[in-house]
Amino acid sequence: MSAPLLRLESVTMAFGGLKAVADLDLEVRSGELVGLIGPNGAGKTTVFNVITGVYTPTAGRILLEGRPIQGLKPHAIARHGITRTFQNIRLFSTRCCRDNVCIASHQHTRASLLDTLLRSHRFETDEREMQARASELLDLLGLAPWEDTIASELPYGQQRRLEIARALAGKPKLLLLDEPAAGLNPQESDQLMHLIEDLGPRFGLTILLIEHDMRVVMGICRRIAVLDYGIKIAEGNPAEIRSNPHVIEAYLGEEIPADLGAGG
């Protein structure tokens, strides 16, 4: 398909006088793994919130497969095939891991409320499918031993993984990952990044990844966009980004530019 899966056309998100995102153009093509990076407070999460409908952009258009989705409610956008994870983990903390994942399959259920209340055959098969899919996803993310654990009792690293499993259960076309490696140690973070790299081909997924730490993204993203003060200051492959003077300037004092290429 030549048309991009997701296309942001001069999207602006202003809060009063503050433009958290200004005139942003961004394209994500089907099957890509794109990184969105930038220093703290650059507006990365706001971009996600605008795409997923938490905010309605002040100006501009957001197109998913050519159809405008700006102004739709978040749950409607999720149904159109965009799911996300959250930077500050937002699990359903009183439910077990399996339930957390099943909730995201909710939009694919065929059993009506009446089926549910009366426990019809359709409800039973639906429920079985959902549980099976949840187990599969938990297994894929290495969470099988914690299936019945209450989400808030999970170790931190596993909570991050559960967020991804949950977002995958929504069978998205586009997966938005908001700093999935935040707070992980370098080893955990490397493991997670390799896992994310595999997700795309495995599920036919397109992924847009926010990361604060450049080092992490450089290893897996072919294409990276850099945001600073809500403005896109650079876009290109890792080598281009690494040598871009604007990017180095934006990150100066924040990270050591010489370290940018290491690891990944």
Stretch that binds other proteins, among 123-131, 141-149, 221-229, 249-257 (CB under 8 A): 123-131
Q: Which is nearer to other proteins, 48 or 251 (CB)?
A: 48
Member of 2, 40, 67, 94 binding other proteins (CB under 8 A): 94
Under a CB-based contact definition with an 8 Å cutoff, are residues 109 and 127 in contact? no
Counting contacts by CB under 8 A, is residue 71 touching other proteins? no
Q: Residue-wise over 51-79: b if at least 16 C-beta within 10 A, else e?
A: bbbebebeebebbbbeeebbebeeeebbe
How many residues belong to the site for other proteins (CB under 8 A)?
38
Counting contacts by CB under 8 A, is residue 159 touching other proteins? no
Member of 56, 93, 125, 243 binding other proteins (CB under 8 A): 93
Q: Which is nearer to other proteins, 92 or 229 (CB)?
A: 92
Helix axis angle for 156-169 and 97-105, nearest 10°, is 20
Give the shortest CB-136-to-other proteins separation in angstroms: 17
Member of 33, 34, 62, 130 binding other proteins (CB under 8 A): 130
Phi/psi at 193 (5° precision): -65, -40
Beta strands across the sheet bearing 67-68? 18-28, 6-15, 59-64, 67-68
The single-letter code of the amino acid at 247 is V
Q: Residue-wise over 133-170: b if at least 16 C-beta within 10 A, else e?
A: bbbebbebbebeebbebbbeebeebbbbbbbbbbbbbb
Give the shortest CB-70-to-other proteins separation in angstroms: 16
Under a CB-based contact definition with an 8 Å cutoff, are residues 206 and 174 in contact? yes
Counting contacts by CB under 8 A, is residue 122 touching other proteins? no
Counting contacts by CB under 8 A, is residue 207 touching other proteins? no
Pairing outcome for strands 206-211 and 33-37: parallel
Question: How far apart (Å, rounded) are the C-alpha atoms in residues 5 and 3?
Answer: 7
Counting contacts by CB under 8 A, is residue 113 touching other proteins? yes
- CA dihedral of residues 217, 219, 224, 230 (deg, nearest 10): 20
Give the shortest CB-97-to-other proteins separation in angstroms: 13
Counting contacts by CB under 8 A, is residue 248 touching other proteins? no
Member of 14, 59, 103, 182 binding other proteins (CB under 8 A): 103
Member of 79, 122, 215, 242 binding other proteins (CB under 8 A): 79
Q: Which is nearer to other proteins, 49 or 189 (CB)?
A: 49
∠ CA 245-59-214 to the nearest 5 degrees? 30
Give the shortest CB-113-to-other proteins separation in angstroms: 6
Member of 9, 27, 65, 127 binding other proteins (CB under 8 A): 127
Counting contacts by CB under 8 A, is residue 52 touching other proteins? yes
Counting contacts by CB under 8 A, is residue 92 touching other proteins? yes
Under a CB-based contact definition with an 8 Å cutoff, are residues 132 and 138 in contact? no
Member of 95, 122, 215, 223 binding other proteins (CB under 8 A): 95
Q: Which helix (H) or strand (E) holds 137?
A: helix 121-140
